[in-house]
A and B are shown apart, each in its own frame.
Chain A
């Protein structure tokens, strides 16, 4: 009798736990809906060229520089980038006006896109220009993704000559805002 009761109790207890435990309806397929949409900001390029480096003898030969830019070699980055914005900010304290060109080049040095920014001459007052954001979406983004090098060209407009004692500098700061969608 006693054993029987023991037996019954343990059976009942076991059953209580097996059957009284419930669970809300869960849907694990929701994992497939996971979509991360992080937005990153990062430096793109910067320079600070003193006036005495831009000495010219009247010839308006542009100054240029090409930097390797391998971010888009990364397939993960390329595949998940949905939008990019580039911001340029220039401070000119040189008494000449400039045009700065930013070129996107592919691995074979073919120019994909050229963007020009007019920089007014320094006249003694604050001379910081924030250019409108360059937005890369759709086809323009596809071109951006082929970019392997960044080219910078500084073209000096006509004006008073610069020599070793010329004052001021041409500063550029630029950043990128990167919109990713990772599924």
Chain B
């Protein structure tokens, strides 16, 4: 059973995803770019994503070790590898998974042919997982406390959250002038399962003092709390359903509900100098379905048996005392979780006017088109310990009018040489895109600390094709 958990843990480790979508951001030939900036300068008469295939994204990584470090078939003892991973990790190293699947999506222009107002909508499913490396507890499990007299093992190292949810969203963006695009998106979250244990504290301490009545001074101070929603019924003995299908049903039809907001802006200082910014998933979920909170709170000073040699025999049991000092409590209170809020911003300089060709003129637009763009982006996301921040430099090029290419160089907590490539092309009305990240790691994916990919298919109808 324990091995089962370990395998599960490793599967999570292997499917680690950073949430930064630096290649998609401001890649405006892809309609889905308005999901990372609702104020992106995206235009269409209408579009719809091919159901299930319009937006599939996943990333993979962990900041302190790779699959290779643990599972390389190189003759090194597995326990040695585990120990190395523990030694090389800190409690700030994290494992992150983010997977998104668009169920359907679409958008259309409102208010006539000359209007530049757009509504977009859709439903996507998202899985989020974040766990910090529980360094002190890992040491305790591997080594025990014997070699660590005087050390406080920090229980705050236990820090994780996981959620499966579906998101129904409706967005609106409008090009107010040649210089300014504003957009916003309202989201209704439906969380099928949530587990949150991000506010733990406490310690396990073993000390040794010469003059104390005990050989060791042993204290466990525990303030552990695991909140779950939509999960507790699976842990009951009488449960005999199918967990994946129950989670899926709860995610779409019977989840804990929440609300969120995205907002974004695109502003052109000059025709070829563009600024964008967005805030994504500013919102919360009121966890209310099948909620259960487990706590272990208290302080226990373990002394061992204490014979007193008097006729009054007090039957004591140190382990009963432990359970009394740090009881396991189960609460059934609703709780609120905040979505990981993301911030993006970019500045982009375009150059190299494209040669005018006939398709361009058909649009009736007087906009100049630039072939090249370079710029920088910043990404930040809220996290329990400290925000995730990534910096990106990018180069975009229109290879043809209907084939755009973007390359990114990103420095993030997982890598300082994360190169991403993206291609978006339109064949007739079919828009296809493929974005990958950390391309250098593809030469040996098992050694990658993080990988990301994203692809999808949309049908996009432009004015010129009326």
Contacts and interface: CB of A to CB of B under 8 A. Distances in A.
Contact of A39 (B79, B146, B304, B434): B146
Contact of B306 (A21, A67, A154, A178): A67
Interface of A: 2-3, 5-7, 9-10, 13-14, 17, 20-28, 30-49, 53, 63-71, 73-74, 87, 89, 150, 152, 154, 171, 173-175, 177-178, 180, 182
Given A6-B403, A22-B445, A46-B214, 11 more contacts: A17-B442, A22-B442, A27-B72, A38-B140, A38-B142, A40-B145, A41-B145, A42-B218, A67-B305, A69-B318, A71-B319
Interface of B: 2-3, 6-7, 10, 67-68, 70-73, 77-79, 81-82, 140-147, 149, 206, 213-216, 218, 302-310, 313, 315-320, 399-400, 402-403, 421, 423, 425-428, 432, 434, 436, 439, 442-447, 453
Contacts of A178: 144
B302 A43 contact: yes
A43 B316 contact: no
A40 B146 CA distance: 5
A20 B443 contact: yes
B149 A41 contact: yes
A121 B442 CA distance: 75
B445 A17 contact: no
Contacts, number: 189
B434 A10 contact: yes
Given A10-B423, A26-B68, A174-B304, A31 B216 contact: no
Given A10-B432, A22-B443, A154 B309 contact: yes
Given A22-B443, A43-B216, A65 B308 contact: yes
Contacts of B141: 36, 38, 182
A10 B307 contact: no
Contact of B400 (A2, A26, A177): A2
Contacts of A74: 319
Contacts of B443: 20-22
Nearest to B317: A68
